[in-house]
Amino acid sequence: MLVALIDKLEISDGAIEAAKAKLEQNGHSLVVFNSRTTNEGELVSRAENAEAVIFANIPFRESVISRLPKLKMISVAFTGTDLVDVAYCHAHGITVCNASGYSTVPVAELALGMAISALRDFVLSDAATRLSEGRDGRVGQDLRGKTVGIIGTGAIGCYTAQIFKAMGCEVLGFSRTERPDFPGVYAPLDEVLHGSDIVSIHLPLTPVTRGLIGAMELATMKPDAILINTARGPIVDQEALAAALHAGHLAHAAIDVFDIEPPLAQDHPMLGAPRTSLTPHIAYATKQAFERRVEIVVENVVMFANNDPVNVV
């Protein structure tokens, strides 16, 4: 097969050469476009002769896929596939695979770091120190003993729960599918929100989860709770979240994902909200994760060609 890498995966030239070598060893060829574009015409141009395409965080909709008659397989270098028109692919016999597992560790670690940062007020303490101020009565809180609610208990949610459990936290969980290895107690969503000191979201974005956490759900949370979102921005109503923070409800919101991909416009509601720590969608982005995901997406192609597909969405 001709395989097209049509997106910048932020990996070294050596990693690209290793990917190319593995594909060639299995009888395939790889063409590389090591830059990011969302222009549909350019995407079609890059993929027009390919039977398999590899990309990460770019929209790949019916308007593009329908113009690629040779396409048989899409290997997405992300866990989530909400940017791909999966239903259209299923209807037209195109296999979609993701990079399941590549970002489990860094996402969970960032969620933990965000929780500790919020409890110890790293952001404001850093700013105060740079203004030559002292402690001035600043008192943080222990993480140990807190109740942490995990919304979504797939691989990332379960690993995040394990980390918080190891830090001495009680863990509650809400998920459509309950897993026997989840190290906590499952409960309905409203009970998890109401009973948790820290709520960490780890759901995929689907029609069901879009807007799952809105004004009513935020009002259910403790007034001194912390909300962490390292999953997908539209799961949380960001206008409602900003309003809750402005109203003094919630101690802190640590947000890595938004309703649009950063950079954010200056009038975005989260930029003006108090008691926040915001990061520009970096939870998955570590050197080790990027190395893992290129290995996974290339293996996806090889296994598909061998009629034994893995990580199928």
| CB neighbours of residue 31 within 10 Å | 14
CA distance 208 to 2: 36
**Structure-block tokens of residue 112:** 């933990």
Rounded to whole angstroms, the Cα distance separating 18 from 11 reads 11
**CB burial string 161-191: b at 16+ within 10 A, e below:** bbbbeebebbbbbbbeeeeeebbbeebeeee
The β-bridge partners of 255 are: 229, 278
Identify whether the C-beta of residue 116 lies closer than 8 Å to the C-beta of residue 163: no
164 neighbors 148 (Cβ within 8 angstroms): yes
Residues 6+ apart with CB under 8 A from 20: 30, 32
Give the active site residue among 170, 261, 291, 295.
261
From 232, 252, 292, 293, the catalytic residue:
232
The one-character DSSP state at 208 is T
Q: Is 279 left (phi over 0), alpha (psi -120 to 50) or beta?
A: beta
**Which tokens in the block code for residue 50?**
């390919």
- One of 62, 268, 281, 291 is an active-site residue; which one? 281
- Told to judge if 178 belongs to the known catalytic residues of this protein, a careful annotator would answer no
The helix-helix angle for 104-120 and 155-166 (nearest 10°) equals: 40
Please count the CA atoms within 13 angstroms of the CA of 36 that sit on its side-chain side. 8
Q: Is 232 a catalytic residue?
A: yes
Active-site annotation holds for 261: yes
Which 3 state secondary structure label does DSSP give 263?
coil
Q: In whole angstroms, what is the distance from residue 222 CA to residue 305 CA?
A: 51
| Residues annotated as catalytic (active site), given as ranges | 232, 261, 281
